[in-house]
Amino acid sequence: MEWIKVTDSLPDHSTVLCCNTNYQHLGYLRQSVWYTTDGDKKVDTANGWGVTHWMPLPDMPKTYDL
């Protein structure tokens, strides 16, 4: 799987891995990686954070009751 550049929203109804960036007041660049299962999320630039890339994740394995 490869990182996909974000345009203005994340894909609908999927679990994705996201890469965020945040420029600090001293010019440092912070990055973080997180996942969401909500889908159809607008790219959030609040507090200086912005989603730059995303990657689809495979479905979770099914769990079985024993």
Q: How do residues 2-50 score in pLDDT, each as one tens digit?
A: 777 766 555 555 555 666 666 666 666 666 665 555 544 544 544 455 6
Identify the pLDDT of residue 5.
72
Q: Check whether 62 has a pLDDT greater than 60.
A: yes
Domain ranges across the chain:
14-53
Q: Check whether 63 has a pLDDT greater than 70.
A: yes
The whole-model pTM stands at 0.38
Identify the pLDDT of residue 30.
66
C-alpha distances (whole Å) from 13 to each of 10, 37, 40 are: 9, 7, 7
Amino acid at 53: H
Identify the pLDDT of residue 20.
66
